[in-house]
Structure formats: C-alpha cells, structure tokens
Structure 1
Amino acid sequence: MEEVKVSAENKQERRFQRICVFCGSRVGYRSSFSDAAHVLGELLVERKIDLVYGGGRLGLMGLISQTVQKGGGHVLGVIPKALLPREISGETFGEVKTVANMHERKSVMAKHADAFIALPGGYGTMEELLEVIAWSQLGIHDKPVGLLNVDGYFNSLLTLFDKGVEEGFIDNSARHIVVIADTAEELLKKMEEYVPNHQKVASRQSWEIGEVL
C-alpha cells in the first residue's frame, strides 16, 4: 500500500511538464523578490518542470532562468526580434525562440506551457497575467494560473478583482481562476490541486485554438 501511495504522489508532482513564468525585467527594491524567483527556480528543477519565460537575462526573468538552467532544467526563452539586442535584454539562458511581436510571444509561451505563474513585475507582467486569466474565463484554456504574492506585492490588484465582483463585473466563480499563495511551494501545491469551476463564456472547441494555444 505504501508503494502505491508514493507512486501517486510522484504522479501528482509531475502534473506539469512545463510552467510559464511571468515576472519583471527588473529585480525591484526588495531582496525578497529575488529570493522568491530563486526559490521558485529551484523548485522547478527539483520537480523536473521545464521553464518557459519571456527571454533575456535581466531582472527576475534572468534570475529564475539562470537558476533553472544551472540546476540542469530546460529553459525556453521566447523573445521578439526587437528585444534581441544584448543592450536591451541581455543574453537569453537556455533555448531561444525568436518571434515577430509581443502578441506572438504570448501565444507561443502559452502553447508551450501547462500552467502559468506570475511573480512581481511591472505593466508587462500584469498584462500577461490578466490575459491568461481572461483566456481562462473565455474558455480558451483550463490551465492553472498562479500568483506568487511575495510580501503582498499583488494585494492591491487582488483588491481590484474583489471590487470587480462587488460591482458586478466579475463572476464570483471567475474570481477564483487565480490561485494565490505567499510561497512557491504552497503555490505549486495549490496549482496541482486546482480544478476549474467557473462558468466559461464559450467552449474550448468553439475557439480556433490553433491560433492561440
């Protein structure tokens, strides 16, 4: 019986083959942001989960990609041609896939990922996060979307989500599309257990998924 239990746990840990991480091209002012990126990278390596990210070696993006690559994990960086010059993004760790624009970048990252995690970041990170949340609500995908709320960085954004529910713009069930935790280990555990229960705007079959995911 014990052997069966261990096998089941291993199977759960391998629910994700690849996770796309959205995060800042800056490290921010708190060391806890960098620490969180490093810890998440180590957990991905430990669980043999590949990293998909936006390419480059700057900021938290560079920290997590370097951590995964140095740990022996596979890294896929997806970067638009305009951001390729080293003075803009730095040299990408791991495998590099060059795309034409930002829209294609997000589509390619989504296609190659089984789940999404957002670390602290700026406008780009928040836009990427909100888009995959919206895609889930629309029924385009049913992949877990995780938010690593380091030192309460996303508290104000979560308050805005709650305001959307309060004012009738977001269904309460859709509010729970986002899986939230303060630590990487807790977040991965919650994402492994995630089951979508929100009402989707349209069925996945009705979307031209090949163009998006």
Structure 2
Amino acid sequence: MIAVYCASGPVPEVHLQLASEVGEALGDRGWGLVSGGGNVSMMGAVATAARAAGAWPVGVIPKALVHREVADTEADELIVTDTMRQRKKHMEQRADAFLVLPGGIGTLEEFTEAWTAGYLGMHDKPVVILDPGGHYDGFFDWLESLRPAGFVGDAALARISRVRSLREALDRCG
C-alpha cells in the first residue's frame, strides 16, 4: 500500500493529470492506495485512476471533512475517523511507503510528519516526493538555508527522495 499525499483543493489540470497517472501506475504494479478519503481534486483523481487500474483504494477521512472534501464513497474501504490525527495514524499504519505529490499546507504537514517519524526511527518506510514541475523548489531551498545553522542535517535530508519521474518515484517506493 502506498500512501499518497496531495492537494484536495482546486489545482491546474497538469496536477490532476499527474495524480491520474500515479493512480494508474499503482494499479499497473498491483499496489494498493491509501489516500485522504476525498473524491475531489488530486486526491479524487489518484483514487479514481487507481480503482480503474485495479488497485485497492483505501480512503481515510475525518468526519469533519466527509462533506467538505466529498468522501470517496466508491473506495473499496472507507475509514471515517474522529480527528485528523487519527486519519494520519491510519494512513501511516497501512502504508508501506509515502508518496508526496504537489499540494498545499495539508500535504506539507502530512509529508513532514511522515518524514520526521522516519528520521526519528519510528518507521523505515520510504518517503518520496514526485516533483516533476519544481513545485517544492522553494521548500528545498529553505531547507538548504537551515543546514548551515544545524537546524537540518544530512541524515534528515537523506530520509527524503525527491524525483522528477513517476517511474523513479515508484521504484523508490517499492
């Protein structure tokens, strides 16, 4: 199972296409998907494409977002939690790897939590950022600016794989 973190709000078509390609590729590899449980934007696109390609999509969504993000009621398994923390816990437990696509503050928060937990030795699962268009360039520039003062070290940065191609991202997940 691959946990995919990505946007759940309005995004350009190029990002929806990327999400669809990811979902299809997961199905082609016979892998399952763990998503945030919404059926809108990139989150919905990856789940829809994964399902169409034969993947087993599991959606995990907090009650408060069931209507806001329009829950993916077509998911093979839909888990409704009480809180966001419970959502993340379920996603992390089910995942064999974390794949991060373009997104905003929610995506960034989920990614950094999975990254930090891996760095602290709480899991040894791959954390991969698929960034074909440079969406995260500014974020990585900022991380590099923290390095001289010791706020981010080589070991922490080594826990992240940032790649430009879908094939390389999936190879690093599996």
Q: Normalising TM by the smaller chain, what interval?
A: over 0.9
Q: Which has the higher helix share?
A: 1
Deviation at 1:174, TM superposition (A): 1.5
RMSD of Structure 2 on Structure 1 (CA): 1.2
| C-alpha separation in 1, matches of 2:110 and 2:71 | 22
| C-alpha separation in 1, matches of 2:10 and 2:104 | 10
Q: Does 1:134 align with 2:116?
A: yes
Could you tell me which residue of structure 1 aligns to residue 170 of structure 2?
188
Whichever residue aligns with residue 22 of structure 1, its letter is: Y
Could you tell me which residue of structure 2 aligns to residue 165 of structure 1?
147
| C-alpha separation in 2, matches of 1:101 and 1:190 | 30
| C-alpha separation in 1, matches of 2:157 and 2:71 | 37
Deviation at 1:183, TM superposition (A): 1.6
Which of the numbers 158, 169, 176 marks the counterpart of 2:158?
176
In structure 2, the CA distance between the partners of 1:181 and 1:99, relative to structure 1 (3 Å rule), is same
Which of the numbers 24, 29, 35 marks the counterpart of 2:17?
35
Please list the CA deviations of residues 62-84 of structure 1 after superposition, one character each: whole Å capped at 9, or x if unmatched. 00000011122100000111111
Whichever residue aligns with residue 55 of structure 1, its letter is: G
Could you tell me which residue of structure 2 aligns to residue 119 of structure 1?
101
Matched residue SS, 1:151: coil
Aligned length: 172
Q: Does 1:19 align with 2:5?
A: no
Matched residue SS, 1:186: helix
Structure 1: gaps of 5 or more residues: 1-17, 193-213
Could you tell me which residue of structure 2 aligns to residue 143 of structure 1?
125
What is the TM-score when the length of structure 1 is the normalising length? 0.77
| C-alpha separation in 2, matches of 1:147 and 1:46 | 20
Could you tell me which residue of structure 1 aligns to residue 91 of structure 2?
109
Could you tell me which residue of structure 2 aligns to residue 90 of structure 1?
70
The percentage of aligned residue pairs carrying the same residue is 33
CA contact (8 A) 2:126 2:172 kept: no
Please list the CA deviations of residues 116-161 of structure 1 after superposition, one character each: whole Å capped at 9, or x if unmatched. 0111111100000000111011111110000011310011111112
| C-alpha separation in 2, matches of 1:179 and 1:55 | 25
After the TM superposition, which parts of structure 1 deviate over 2 Å for at least 4 consecutive aligned residues?
none
| C-alpha separation in 2, matches of 1:39 and 1:187 | 12
| C-alpha separation in 1, matches of 2:145 and 2:171 | 27
Structure 2: gaps of 5 or more residues: none
